[in-house]
């Protein structure tokens, strides 16, 4: 049975050949797209489609027997469900007429199954990672801000200390200058005192001369 025959087989059930062709195309397209994306398409009682990765390997050319290296590739794989296997093996009888050959999917199984669960878990992990990264960035920014503030405070304290030291140095220099000026002003007083000393000598000479004159008169 090819695709056209498959469409003809289900045309009566879907209300016409056009509707049947669209339904087959839609189902096959959905299966192919999901398998290519790496999702596992599972139909209860029928089977599952999945993507399988094959590593690089060596094989032999059946015509020449030459050893050939095959690159890494991905291939689709179909695994028949247990109901399908039982019908093919003959352990179960195939229903007659238009009855459903495989079991209907249970309620809640058409929401994506294991693939959807894996996707949701991956989405949650991604969201958690993003939230953690955002929290780390925020913490890093706060830490940087604190360090910057501390550095600014330290610089301000250093500047204040430098200003105080400069002010103290200026005060000390002013005091030293004042002391020098005061010392310089007092120095001439000593010189004046030193100059007055010869007056005592003149008095001593006068006394000696008077004593000499008195002695002569006697």
When pLDDT is cut at 50, 70 and 90, the band that residue 101 belongs to is: confident
124: which 2 tokens?
């949650």
Q: How much is the pLDDT for 64?
A: 92
Q: What is the pLDDT of residues 42-77, one digit of tens each?
A: 999 899 999 999 999 999 999 999 999 999 999 999
Q: What is the pLDDT of residues 102-152, one digit of tens each?
A: 766 555 544 444 444 445 555 555 666 666 666 677 666 776 667 766 666
Q: What is the pTM of this model?
A: 0.46
């Amino acid at each position: 049975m090819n695709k056209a025959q498959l469409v003809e087989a289900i045309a009566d059930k879907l209300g016409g050949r056009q509707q049947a062709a669209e339904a087959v195309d839609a189902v096959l397209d959905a299966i192919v797209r999901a398998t290519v994306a790496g999702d596992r398409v599972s139909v209860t009682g029928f089977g599952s489609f999945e993507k399988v990765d094959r590593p690089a390997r060596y094989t032999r050319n059946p015509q020449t027997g030459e050893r050939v290296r095959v690159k890494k590739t991905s291939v689709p794989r179909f695994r028949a469900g247990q109901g399908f296997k039982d019908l093919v093996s003959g352990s179960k009888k195939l229903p007659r007429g238009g009855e459903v050959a495989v079991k209907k999917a249970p309620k809640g199984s058409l929401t994506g199954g294991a693939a959807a669960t894996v996707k949701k878990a991956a989405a949650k992990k991604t969201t958690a990672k993003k939230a953690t990264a955002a929290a780390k960035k925020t913490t890093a920014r706060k830490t940087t801000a604190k360090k910057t503030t501390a550095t600014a405070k330290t610089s301000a304290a250093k500047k204040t200390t430098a200003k105080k030291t400069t002010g103290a140095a200026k005060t000390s220099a002013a005091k030293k200058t004042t002391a020098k000026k005061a010392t310089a002003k007092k120095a001439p007083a000593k010189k004046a005192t030193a100059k007055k000393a010869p007056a005592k000598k003149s008095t001593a000479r006068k006394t000696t001369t008077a004593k000499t004159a008195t002695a002569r008169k006697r």
